[in-house]
């Protein structure tokens, strides 16, 4: 006679470990499985595997499978800048890696729709996302970080000539993907303060934002505009980061400041916002980024600045949980 013990023993060990309950009725067997931590494809595979195994048991005419999962309290953090070319995407990728190493379940949305670079930075250029029930399933980048980018959906090198509403619609699909157990999603926003950026922060209101700038005056003016955008949308600014701060000559070791120094810290003080730190202008960061090996993935000097900023973001997130 069929019972729960017999049915559970027929399941593969990985599936049996997720069984919450098994109910035997004359017309069918009903199994409730715990799908916590799985994305849409993982849950579909779990359901199919359980159904196949149970229906192979003699005396089982039909197996009905329900996969349940705990609701994830997901928080979105925007990484923005007032202009392009200030290292926003590099910061985003390295923050994701550093947070992952700290034990956070983190994902990345490459919302920089006109210049997607996260597939390169997180080594996932060849990956293509699948859709399950019309919901995109993130691909996996460095360290298994779930991520989505327009760079995964279009041919490499192809320009995207979309107007604001079309771009915003595409980005919505990325943000509303099946992020599984990732409870922190870093959003690499397009540079600037236009329609796409405003739509993103209003529709998918992040819990906080980090602003990136280089120290020169023109970039600082645009960084201030980015701060005003987040303020208008009611998104708290976690802090400001100064990138490309200081260049050490590889031959003599002398440090120079081609973009100036300290400008971001000064504007943070003026705006009464936290200053999170500086990222140096180094060949090691540039080379590692081009290779898809973020410096924050190890304990070397190149990744130390990113890790320090990620630690402050981690503290801010924990304080928000405790509030």
Q: Specify binding-site residues.
A: 82-89
Residue 40 pLDDT: 80
Which is more confident, 208 or 168?
A: 208
Residue 168 pLDDT: 66
Look up the CATH number of domain 4-68.
3.30.300.130
Question: pLDDT-derived band of residue 132, with 50, 70 and 90 as boundaries?
Answer: confident
Instruction: Give the burial class of 284: count Cβ atoms within 10 A of its Cβ; 0-12 exposed, 13-18 middle, 19 or more buried.
Output: middle
Question: pLDDT-derived band of residue 155, with 50, 70 and 90 as boundaries?
Answer: low
Which is more confident, 200 or 292?
A: 292
Percent of the chain with pLDDT over 70: 93
Distances in whole angstroms, Cα of residue 120 to Cα of each of 44, 147, 172, 264: 29, 12, 22, 27
Instruction: Give the gyration radius of the chain's Cα atoms.
Output: 23
Q: Are 73 and 98 in contact (CB under 8 A)?
A: no
Q: What is the pTM of this model?
A: 0.80
Ordered by start, the domain boundaries in the chain are: 4-68, 75-322
Return d(Cα 79, Cα 95) in angstroms, integer: 10
Return d(Cα 96, Cα 4) in angstroms, integer: 43
Residue 196: pLDDT over 80:
no
Which is more confident, 21 or 84?
A: 21
| Distant-in-sequence, close-in-space partners of 155: CB < 8 Å, separation ≥ 6 | none
Which is more confident, 296 or 214?
A: 296
Distances in whole angstroms, Cα of residue 37 to Cα of each of 17, 70, 142: 14, 8, 18
Q: Specify binding-site residues for ATP.
A: 82-89
Question: Which range among 16-20, 162-166, 268-272 has the greatest average pLDDT?
Answer: 16-20
Give me the mean pLDDT over the 202-206 stretch.
85
Class of domain 75-322 (CATH, top level): alpha beta
């Amino acid at each position: 006679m069929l019972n729960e013990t017999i049915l559970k023993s027929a399941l593969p060990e990985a599936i049996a470990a997720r069984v919450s309950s098994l109910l035997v009725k004359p017309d069918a067997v009903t199994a409730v499985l715990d799908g916590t931590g799985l994305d849409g494809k993982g849950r579909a595979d779990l359901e199919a595997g359980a159904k196949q195994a149970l229906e192979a048991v003699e005396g089982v005419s039909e197996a009905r499978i329900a996969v349940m999962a705990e609701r994830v309290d997901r928080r979105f953090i925007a990484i923005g800048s007032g202009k392009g070319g200030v290292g926003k995407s590099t910061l985003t990728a390295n923050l994701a890696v550093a947070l992952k190493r700290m034990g956070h379940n983190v994902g990345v949305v490459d919302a920089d729709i006109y210049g997607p670079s996260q597939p390169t930075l997180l080594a996932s250029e060849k990956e293509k996302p699948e859709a399950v029930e019309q919901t995109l399933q993130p691909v996996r980048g460095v360290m298994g970080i779930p991520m989505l980018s327009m760079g995964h959906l279009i041919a490499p090198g192809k320009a995207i000539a979309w107007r604001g509403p079309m771009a915003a619609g595409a980005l919505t699909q990325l943000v509303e993907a099946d992020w599984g157990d990732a409870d922190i999603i870093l959003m690499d926003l397009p540079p600037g303060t236009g329609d796409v950026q405003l739509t993103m922060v209003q529709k998918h209101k992040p819990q906080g934002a980090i602003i990136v700038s280089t120290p020169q005056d023109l970039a600082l003016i645009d960084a201030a505009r980015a701060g005003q955008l987040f303020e208008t949308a009611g998104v708290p600014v976690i802090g400001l980061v100064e990138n490309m701060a200081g260049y050490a000559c590889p031959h003599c070791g002398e440090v120079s400041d081609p973009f100036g120094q300290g400008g971001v810290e000064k504007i943070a003080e003026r705006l009464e916002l936290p200053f999170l730190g500086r990222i140096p202008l180094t060949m090691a960061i540039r080379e590692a980024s081009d290779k898809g090996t973020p410096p924050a993935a190890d304990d070397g000097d190149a990744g130390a600045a990113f890790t320090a900023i990620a630690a402050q973001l981690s503290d801010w997130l924990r304080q928000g949980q405790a509030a």
